[in-house]
Amino acid sequence: MKNSKKIIKAILFDMVGVLIFKKLNYSASSKDEINADKIEKLYNHIDDQKLLADVKENLDLKEEDLQKALRCIPGKYEKFPKIWELLPSLKNDFKLAVINNGNALAKKYWDEKFDFSIFDIFIRSAEEKIKKPDPKIFLITCARLGVKPEECLFMDDSLDNIQAAEKLGMETIWWDKEEKREKVIDKFKDLIKIISNL
């Protein structure tokens, strides 16, 4: 930790690249999965209505086909179990939040596949109309949790997002895509031990 006397009250997680990862051998095969891939390529992360308009203009999907495709999006991802198994014990000592750059169109399907109920809040950029690394989305999260930025640990696989959080005074762990997940989770566990013993 940069400041050994820092009191951490909340842990903020990125979703894809920290909590969940794309399946290694995933390949879209069905019509709905292929449509799901096409929808993901249209993501702008801050405007669901624009995304719907883009889908209508570029893919010409009926509502039924759109929902079938949206249901497939979470299916290409899987939990990183080593971090999920830590969440119940973390919940005893910290407020937990997810900050995700993503749309809300497939929200119910994400929630069906991955139970996020252990988190105190889930911030979606498309619902807030702002996305990481804009500092406002971090400040919104802090306000809803009732904590200060310097009382937060934030984890993300994007260096830009990490640097934005650090400028606000947050403790951070960068989930570098080139580094093995096991090494990063060990860093996280070590940091939690330090934080918990302050």
DSSP 47-101: -HHHHHHHHHHHH---HHHHHHHHHHTGGGEEE-HHHHTTHHHHHHHSEEEEEE-
Stretch 17-38: mean pLDDT: 94
Q: Is residue 186 part of a domain?
A: yes
Is residue 5 a contact partner of residue 45, using CB atoms and an 8 Å limit? no
3 pLDDT above the threshold of 50: no
43 pLDDT above the threshold of 90: no
Q: Is residue 35 part of a domain?
A: yes
Is residue 104 a contact partner of residue 128, using CB atoms and an 8 Å limit? no
b/e sequence 46-64, b meaning 16+ C-beta within 10 Å: bebeebbebbeeeeebeee
Domain total for the chain?
A: 2
Distance CA 60, CA 38 (A): 11
| CB atoms inside a 10 Å sphere around CB 73 | 23
Q: Is residue 91 part of a domain?
A: yes
Residues 175 and 122 in one domain: yes
Tokens 């606000």 appear where?
168
Residues 64 and 96 in one domain: no
157 pLDDT above the threshold of 70: yes
Q: Please, which pLDDT band fits residue 196 given cuts at 50, 70 and 90?
A: confident
Residues 85 and 179 in one domain: yes
Q: Is residue 37 part of a domain?
A: yes
Stretch 5-32: mean pLDDT: 93
Q: Please, which pLDDT band fits residue 1 given cuts at 50, 70 and 90?
A: very low
Percent pLDDT > 70 in the chain is 96
Q: Please, which pLDDT band fits residue 45 given cuts at 50, 70 and 90?
A: confident
Q: Looking at residue 34, what is its pLDDT? A: 95
Q: Looking at residue 198, what is its pLDDT? A: 52
Q: Looking at residue 5, what is its pLDDT? A: 61
Residues 166 and 115 in one domain: yes
Q: Is residue 40 part of a domain?
A: yes
Residue 69: domain span: 31-75
Residues 61 and 86 in one domain: no
133-148 confidence digits (pLDDT tens): 999 999 999 999 999 9
58-117 confidence digits (pLDDT tens): 998 999 999 999 999 999 999 999 999 999 999 999 999 999 999 889 999 999 999 999
Residues 85 and 129 in one domain: yes
Residues 62 and 113 in one domain: no
